[in-house]
Amino acid sequence: MYELLIKNATVFDGTGKPGFAAAVASENGKLKVLPPDSTCQAAQVIDGTGLCLAPGFIDPHSHGDVPLGRHFNSLSKLSQGITTHVTGQCGFSMFPVDPARLKPMQDGMAIFTDTFPPEMETFTSFENYLKYISTVKIPENVKFNVGHVSLRIAAMGFENRRPTPEEMEKMKSMLREAMEHGAIGLSSGLIYIPSVYADMEEFVELCKVVAEYDGIYTTHMRNEGDDVIQSIEETLEVGRRSGCRVHISHLKVCGKKNWGMSGKIIEMIKKAQQEGIRVSADQYPYTASMTHLNVCIPPKYFTKGIPGMVEILKDPAMRQQIRMEMMDPGVRYENQYLNCGGFDGVFVSRCAATPEYEGMTIGEAARKYDMDPFDLFFDLLIRNDGVASAIYFCMDEEDVFNIIQCDSVVPGTDGIVKSESERAHPRAYGTMPRAIRWFVKEKHLMPLEAMIHKMTGQAAQLCMIDGKGVIADGMDADLVLFNYDTICDTADFMDSSRLAEGIETVIVGGQIVYQDKRLTGATPGKVILHGKR
């Protein structure tokens, strides 16, 4: 007798094959595909009449490691059909930690959580972090990157310089330890301190270590606006010189004057692949991004961390200097102020000390309170100790459509959630259903089976996750049962945590973990270690 049997659903097996009739069973957490008229017995039977059955969706770009194990974090994934997520993205991971620099490291990660585990000072290595994670019960599966931000802070703090030979060896040693213990690779966030201070040579050397383990270098590139082409070139050169796989996080084109460049970017990726560089990317299906509000400030003002930047903003002369630099396109950094066409495109999603500003753009708030928008912006950062988050409206739909149709691109959430009700980016709860609704049902950019392949089989290959992403005999019993007619993202920028419609049942390891729009309490989730199946 099987543990679980799903019958009468249309099966999309994750390979790109059109839907077909079959019964799908689970035994000891593994799948068995049966004829549609099978009369086998099971302890639990689900009638999937009128529904679609797919492998559990895989999120290749998650920040869910920071609040891992918290109810809202798992809910944000499972409620949209995600059963496995790859974390430690954009340079931020919970390890390695230098206990003497723990507080400034946490300051930089405050966008992801309001609380950190008290054990965090012991996360000096991936091995130590895994000991902690083994005590955390989770309903979904997770795989980990090493974040370059965390790595560099542990080795050399926030210094704006090249590492010394000794510091470089320390970073390589910590990275090698993580790879030995099953990290998937290295991630970078090249708009964040101190990653922004690192040059290409530093990443080439580190990625040579990653390549030894057939890992992957995942990068939030140095620029996604005016210098996006140069940033693509830098990413590809790291892959070329290190021999490492490279993956571009949340591939996009920011800034109205740059719209239309997606075609050139896709050409560059295809040409690199023909050369032999292994390159891929993920994308979230929205025209707005989200990150720290403080990234509007040029990175040179963060050499003493976020508290140091806040002190600088208290000086009227420095405020005027920063204002002029933010307005000057000749000052080269990822200028979100200019990318959004000014402060009317910068939406304040979270500022805990001044919640009256949440839910408005900086421009709207300045008009409401009769203030200069730059003064309001600077004061908001000061009053929130530099820790606030914002939505940046900076992209064009046509570029989004072009990018998702690239064979090497898969959907990823870049999801950030700090609580059940926090206003954040709707991608945290809506990415996968939105990709089906927007790209497949409304825009007809590809058939459903092609989109499911991107979310499952292709994502599993990209993330090097064995046993997942395909419905076939012997594969892991991670499944999502959904209603194609009703599947729809409902989260928006004012209510970002509304649950998607149409996700009926989600299964991990043969156990139902999400049904009737709630978690069941089952915790079959596992840590996936790279190269250690």
Q: What does the pLDDT look like over 393-417, one tens digit per residue? A: 999 999 999 999 999 999 999 999 9
Residue 143 clears pLDDT 70, i.e. is over it: yes
Measure the CA–CA gap between 459 and 438, rounded to whole angstroms: 19
Residue 39 clears pLDDT 70, i.e. is over it: yes
Helix (H, G, I), strand (E, B) or coil at 523: coil
CB atoms within 10 A of CB 344: 15
Say if CB 506 and CB 515 are below 8 A apart.
yes
- What does residue 316 show for φ and ψ, rounded to 5 degrees? -55, -40
Q: Is residue 154 very low, low, confident or very high in pLDDT (cuts 50, 70, 90)?
A: very high
Beta bridge partners of 4: 26, 44
Element containing residue 453 per DSSP (H, E): helix 448-455
Interstrand relation of 57-59 and 82-87 (parallel, antiparallel or unpaired): parallel
Return the pLDDT at 419. 83
Mind spelling out the 3-state secondary structure of 501-523? Answer: ECEEEEEECCEEEEECCEECCCC
More confident: 532 or 264: 264
Element containing residue 44 per DSSP (H, E): strand 42-47
> Using one digit for the tens of pLDDT, what is the confidence trace for 355-378?
999 999 999 999 999 999 999 999
- What is the distance between the terminal CA atoms of the chain, rounded to a whole angstrom? 27
**Burial class of residue 271 in the structure, from the number of CB atoms within 10 Å of its CB (0-12 exposed, 13-18 middle, 19+ buried):** exposed
- Give alpha helix (H) positions in 185-315: 200-212, 228-242, 262-275, 305-313
> Using one digit for the tens of pLDDT, what is the confidence trace for 52-64?
999 999 999 999 9
Helix (H, G, I), strand (E, B) or coil at 86: strand
Residues of the chain with CATH 3.20.20.140: 66-77+85-287+395-419
> Using one digit for the tens of pLDDT, what is the confidence trace for 429-485?
999 999 999 999 999 999 999 999 999 999 999 999 999 999 999 999 999 999 999
Residues of the chain with CATH 2.30.40.10: 1-65+78-84+420-485+493-520
> Using one digit for the tens of pLDDT, what is the confidence trace for 411-421?
999 999 988 87
Return the pLDDT at 389. 92
Q: Is residue 533 very low, low, confident or very high in pLDDT (cuts 50, 70, 90)?
A: low
Return the pLDDT at 144. 98
- Give alpha helix (H) positions in 260-417: 262-275, 305-313, 316-327, 336-339, 362-368, 373-383, 397-404
CATH ID of 1-65+78-84+420-485+493-520, from 2.30.40.10, 3.40.47.10, 2.60.120.10, 1.20.1560.10: 2.30.40.10
| pLDDT (average), residues 327-337 | 91
Measure the CA–CA gap between 405 and 462, rounded to whole angstroms: 16
Beta bridge partners of 458: none
Helix (H, G, I), strand (E, B) or coil at 488: strand
In percent, how much of the chain has pLDDT > 70?
100
Measure the CA–CA gap between 310 and 90, rounded to whole angstroms: 23
Say if CB 468 and CB 13 are below 8 A apart.
no
> Using one digit for the tens of pLDDT, what is the confidence trace for 265-296?
999 999 999 999 999 999 999 999 998 999 99
pTM, two decimal places: 0.95
Helix (H, G, I), strand (E, B) or coil at 267: helix
Beta bridge partners of 16: none
Return the pLDDT at 265. 97
Return the pLDDT at 472. 98
Return the pLDDT at 305. 87
Return the pLDDT at 489. 98
Beta bridge partners of 54: 480
* Dihedral sign computed on CA atoms, order 144, 466, 78, 525: negative
Helix (H, G, I), strand (E, B) or coil at 81: coil
- What does residue 52 show for φ and ψ, rounded to 5 degrees? -105, 140
Measure the CA–CA gap between 315 and 301, rounded to whole angstroms: 13
Helix (H, G, I), strand (E, B) or coil at 149: helix
Interstrand relation of 288-292 and 279-283 (parallel, antiparallel or unpaired): unpaired
Measure the CA–CA gap between 81 and 55, rounded to whole angstroms: 9
Q: Is residue 103 very low, low, confident or very high in pLDDT (cuts 50, 70, 90)?
A: very high
> Using one digit for the tens of pLDDT, what is the confidence trace for 479-497?
999 999 999 999 999 999 9
* CATH level 3 topology of 66-77+85-287+395-419: TIM Barrel (3.20.20)
Q: Is residue 532 very low, low, confident or very high in pLDDT (cuts 50, 70, 90)?
A: confident
DSSP state of 249: T
How does the average pLDDT of the chain come out, rounded?
Answer: 96
- The tally of CA atoms less than 13 A away on the side-chain side of residue 373 is 17
Interstrand relation of 52-55 and 479-482 (parallel, antiparallel or unpaired): antiparallel
Question: 37: which residues sit within 8 A by CB, 6+ positions away?
Answer: 23
The amino acid present at 208, given as its one-letter code, is K
Say if CB 172 and CB 165 are below 8 A apart.
no
Chain-centre distance for alpha carbon 53: 25
Return the pLDDT at 421. 78
DSSP state of 62: B
Return the pLDDT at 110. 85
Element containing residue 147 per DSSP (H, E): strand 146-147
Residue 264 clears pLDDT 70, i.e. is over it: yes
